[in-house]
């Protein structure tokens, strides 16, 4: 099953009719979990779980005060300055597993991914950086 196939067979559709080419969120720690808010797409304290949290721990290890928030930029195509590539692996439990060869880690992204993309992208390109003070 390829990217997006499970979504269609599961009957779920993207709630987003227009998507940005490049998206920005600001994850932070809440009750020990990485979460983010994005009122633009109707998400509040949306958690990263099932390995995606471990990926974040690794990529923000050197960012000052990352637990208070950092900037994450992501897209389905490469962009100047991206640091990590995540490749789609499989569909499971209404979400999708992605693998980072650079980190040698796999993480599950929940259906909230479809708030940003019409279908789960084949690859995700990510940049993380400290939030401006």
3-state secondary structure of 27: coil
Per-residue pLDDT, 9: 34
Q: What is the pTM of this model?
A: 0.83
Per-residue pLDDT, 132: 81
Query: What does the pLDDT look like over 4-57, one tens digit per residue?
Result: 433 333 333 344 445 679 999 999 999 999 999 999 999 999 999 999 999 999
**Which ranges of the chain would DSSP assign to H, the alpha helix?**
5-9, 52-59
Query: What does the pLDDT look like over 59-93, one tens digit per residue?
Result: 999 999 999 999 999 999 999 999 999 999 999 99
Per-residue pLDDT, 85: 98
Query: What does the pLDDT look like over 117-127, one tens digit per residue?
Result: 999 999 999 99
**Tokens coding 128:** 């993380």
- Asked whether the beta carbons of 74 and 108 are under 8 A apart, the reply is no
Could you tell me which residues are beta bridge partners of residue 73?
A: 24, 127
Tell me the C-alpha distance between 80 and 20, whole Å: 16
Residues present in the chain in total: 133
């Amino acid at each position: 099953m390829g990217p997006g196939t499970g979504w269609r067979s599961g009957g779920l559709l993207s709630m987003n009719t227009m998507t940005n080419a490049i998206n920005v969120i600001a994850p932070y720690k809440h009750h020990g979990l990485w979460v983010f808010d994005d009122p633009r797409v109707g998400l509040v304290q949306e958690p990263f779980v099932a390995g995606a949290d471990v990926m974040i721990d690794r990529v923000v290890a050197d960012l000052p005060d990352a637990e208070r928030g950092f900037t994450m930029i992501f897209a389905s195509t490469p962009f100047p300055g991206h640091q990590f590539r995540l490749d789609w692996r499989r569909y499971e439990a209404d979400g999708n597993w992605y693998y980072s060869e650079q980190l040698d880690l796999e993480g599950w992204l929940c259906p909230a991914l479809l708030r940003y993309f019409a279908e789960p992208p084949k690859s995700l390109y990510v940049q993380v950086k400290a939030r401006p003070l």
